[in-house]
Chain A
């Protein structure tokens, strides 16, 4: 197993390099000059050349790539063209904010999704099962940015229970774990939770149904185990896969939060990406995407490793 884990970890390295290459190329597939957003339209050729040299855009591509990777390894993701601040700092702050909604959304989604999935898997064909499958198909089909708008309309505009946008009563820089701040987190996290809820409900339902139909369940029942004891066996059989799906969902939500953050003006990575795209701030775009994608690769790796370690049924040679 150790050799498998080692190979799995080593396999992630070329993927990471590939991901970095793709992020690097983003700047170069973009049409026009990467410096267009800071240069005035009447800038002289000299000034343009000077800036090209300053940002290193005049060097050959392979050189640019490896020096970019080298600096990224040392925590330097370059300088934002729009603000002149280091990209790394901005990204770290934003990732923290996005992590709050993504983690909360994953927890809510997992709790309800697993509940629906279990009930549906136990009572296959009943009306509860049909309702649960309706919930799961809705969860994966709903355009979440629209769902966010609908929740804002219901809970902010009509009922006025929760704030519609932002990340705190006094700006977004000053977060505290109290209700005054936490209430800003509720709508974005609930909106986001519908995605994992649908997927986890679907997965758990299939897992439970599959486990219940296996012969060892008949054997256990014949030995006179109580329903609760049987339930424990079902739980143990489903937990590794369900938890793995949950882990991956966290990665998807972290990377896919831009639409929801736009609806709620949440100051996370999505907000940063939005600013980067519309101010044509390519180093910021590049850096943010790199961090999110690498996070996803590492999360995948961790989930795989944990699954191998904790699920004795998986034997990987």
Chain B
């Protein structure tokens, strides 16, 4: 964590920050590109993103067209490359379109929590004192729940639906990100260049914006990316339980749930959507690990 903190006394020139950060960014990128595992993860994520964006062009059939005569065709059936689901809908098309909702449900909560939790943590860390204690003890209560339990408690109480699932997952990740943000901000706040800025009469907002943010955003961002993998598993898990996404929308967790009854008829077909959840989750995990190593954050 210490490597991102630059200790120059030069705080008056705002121009110096963007120049330095570009140099740092290029270094990080170069190290990241040289990491084969991270690049493999990035490639998988890119393919999934293309699937999600270009789904209408890639789908061989209508993902909603059901047929009682074509139910549960095995993988490799002519015309249905990956078979058909329990309502006779084309699996390949549904898996491709499923990338949209699945990725959206997995990534959005982390993005929202990155914004909200990051802001809360930086504020608490910079303010210190009573405000810090008040905010962090509240965060501790949320942190006292295992994440799966909190996600299910909240979305269970709120009820089924995409919005409710997103809210629940965001609430799960806010305390985790806020804790990290608070601890790195507290470290930075104690450094000499912040004291110097304060002595030269900079307002709290300016100090946070110019001096603190650039130094804490990296570690907070890297930690947040490490949560995407968990978020993907939890988001699909909620849909798997019947919370979250509702039929007939294709989402990998929900597909896994509805195909579960077919496990004795077409076992491998039933397990297929899970392969995509697994691939996404592992890809985000290795990319995040690579990013952490490239940014030299412990």
CB distance from A20 to the nearest CB of B (A): 10
Whether A30 and B157, one on each chain, are in contact in the complex, defined by CB atoms closer than 8 angstroms, is yes
B148 CB–A CB distance under 8 Å:
yes
- With the chains together, A201 CA to B242 CA distance in Å? 33
Whether B263 and A143, one on each chain, are in contact in the complex, defined by CB atoms closer than 8 angstroms, is no
Instruction: Please judge, given known A-B contacts A153-B271, A157-B264, A157-B267, whether A27 and B157 are in contact too, CB under 8 Å.
Output: yes
Q: Give the residue of A276, A285, A296 whose beta carbon is less than 8 angstroms from that of B146.
A: A296
Chain A residues near B271 (CB-CB < 8 A): 146, 149-150, 153
Interface positions, chain A 124-148, Cβ under 8 Å from B, are 137-138, 140-147
B215 CB–A CB distance under 8 Å:
no
CB distance from B144 to the nearest CB of A (A): 5
- With the chains together, A41 CA to B249 CA distance in Å? 29
Q: Give the residue of A143, A254, A258 whose beta carbon is less than 8 angstroms from that of B236.
A: A143
Size category of the B interface is 35 or more
A167 CB–B CB distance under 8 Å:
no
The closest CB in chain A to the CB of B226 belongs to A140
The closest CB in chain A to the CB of B260 belongs to A149
Chain A residues near B264 (CB-CB < 8 A): 157
Whether B281 and A29, one on each chain, are in contact in the complex, defined by CB atoms closer than 8 angstroms, is no
B-contact 0/1 string along A114-125, CB 8 Å cutoff: 000000000000
CB distance from B172 to the nearest CB of A (A): 11
- With the chains together, A274 CA to B229 CA distance in Å? 24
B274 CB–A CB distance under 8 Å:
yes
A238 CB–B CB distance under 8 Å:
no
Chain A residues near B158 (CB-CB < 8 A): 29-31
Whether A30 and B159, one on each chain, are in contact in the complex, defined by CB atoms closer than 8 angstroms, is yes
Whether B159 and A31, one on each chain, are in contact in the complex, defined by CB atoms closer than 8 angstroms, is yes
Whether B285 and A146, one on each chain, are in contact in the complex, defined by CB atoms closer than 8 angstroms, is no
The number of residues on chain A lying at the interface, defined by a beta carbon within 8 Å of a beta carbon of chain B, is 51
Whether B278 and A143, one on each chain, are in contact in the complex, defined by CB atoms closer than 8 angstroms, is yes
B282 CB–A CB distance under 8 Å:
yes
Whether B149 and A255, one on each chain, are in contact in the complex, defined by CB atoms closer than 8 angstroms, is yes
Whether B149 and A293, one on each chain, are in contact in the complex, defined by CB atoms closer than 8 angstroms, is yes
- With the chains together, A288 CA to B268 CA distance in Å? 35
Chain A residues near B289 (CB-CB < 8 A): 137
A297 CB–B CB distance under 8 Å:
yes
A-contact 0/1 string along B250-290, CB 8 Å cutoff: 00010010001001100110110111011001100110010
Chain A residues near B145 (CB-CB < 8 A): 19, 22, 255, 293, 296
- With the chains together, A15 CA to B142 CA distance in Å? 9
- With the chains together, A71 CA to B264 CA distance in Å? 47
Instruction: Please judge, given known A-B contacts A142-B281, A143-B236, whether A150 and B274 are in contact too, CB under 8 Å.
Output: yes
Q: Give the residue of B144, B148, B256 whose beta carbon is less than 8 angstroms from that of A149.
A: B256
A80 CB–B CB distance under 8 Å:
no
Whether B141 and A18, one on each chain, are in contact in the complex, defined by CB atoms closer than 8 angstroms, is yes
CB distance from B133 to the nearest CB of A (A): 11
| Total A-B pairs, Cβ < 8 A | 137
Chain A residues near B236 (CB-CB < 8 A): 143
CB distance from B247 to the nearest CB of A (A): 15
Whether B144 and A18, one on each chain, are in contact in the complex, defined by CB atoms closer than 8 angstroms, is yes
B51 CB–A CB distance under 8 Å:
no
Most central of A21, A22, A252 by chain B CB within 10 Å: A22
A256 CB–B CB distance under 8 Å:
yes
Interface positions, chain B 202-254, Cβ under 8 Å from A, are 229, 232-233, 236-237, 240-243, 253
Whether A26 and B148, one on each chain, are in contact in the complex, defined by CB atoms closer than 8 angstroms, is no
Chain B residues near A297 (CB-CB < 8 A): 144
Whether A153 and B267, one on each chain, are in contact in the complex, defined by CB atoms closer than 8 angstroms, is yes
Whether B270 and A137, one on each chain, are in contact in the complex, defined by CB atoms closer than 8 angstroms, is no
Chain A residues near B273 (CB-CB < 8 A): 146
Instruction: Please judge, given known A-B contacts A30-B157, A149-B263, A259-B237, whether A15 and B144 are in contact too, CB under 8 Å.
Output: yes
Whether A256 and B141, one on each chain, are in contact in the complex, defined by CB atoms closer than 8 angstroms, is no
B10 CB–A CB distance under 8 Å:
no
The closest CB in chain B to the CB of A258 belongs to B152
The closest CB in chain B to the CB of A254 belongs to B146
Q: Give the residue of B146, B157, B240 whose beta carbon is less than 8 angstroms from that of A145.
A: B240
B140 CB–A CB distance under 8 Å:
yes
B49 CB–A CB distance under 8 Å:
no
Chain B residues near A292 (CB-CB < 8 A): 146, 149
Instruction: Please judge, given known A-B contacts A27-B157, A29-B158, A30-B159, whether A19 and B278 are in contact too, CB under 8 Å.
Output: no
Whether A141 and B278, one on each chain, are in contact in the complex, defined by CB atoms closer than 8 angstroms, is yes
Chain B residues near A262 (CB-CB < 8 A): 240-241
- With the chains together, A274 CA to B243 CA distance in Å? 10
A289 CB–B CB distance under 8 Å:
yes
CB distance from A150 to the nearest CB of B (A): 5
Interface positions, chain A 20-58, Cβ under 8 Å from B, are 21-23, 26-27, 29-31
B-contact 0/1 string along A277-312, CB 8 Å cutoff: 110001001000100110011001000000000000
Instruction: Please judge, given known A-B contacts A142-B278, A145-B256, A149-B274, whether A276 and B144 are in contact too, CB under 8 Å.
Output: no
7 A-B pairs besides A31-B159, A255-B149 with CB distance below 8 A are A18-B144, A19-B141, A29-B157, A137-B282, A141-B285, A274-B241, A297-B144
Pairs across A and B, CB under 8 Å, 22 listed: A14-B137, A18-B141, A19-B144, A21-B141, A26-B156, A137-B285, A141-B233, A144-B233, A147-B274, A153-B263, A158-B267, A164-B263, A252-B148, A255-B149, A256-B146, A258-B241, A259-B240, A259-B241, A289-B153, A293-B146, A296-B145, A296-B149
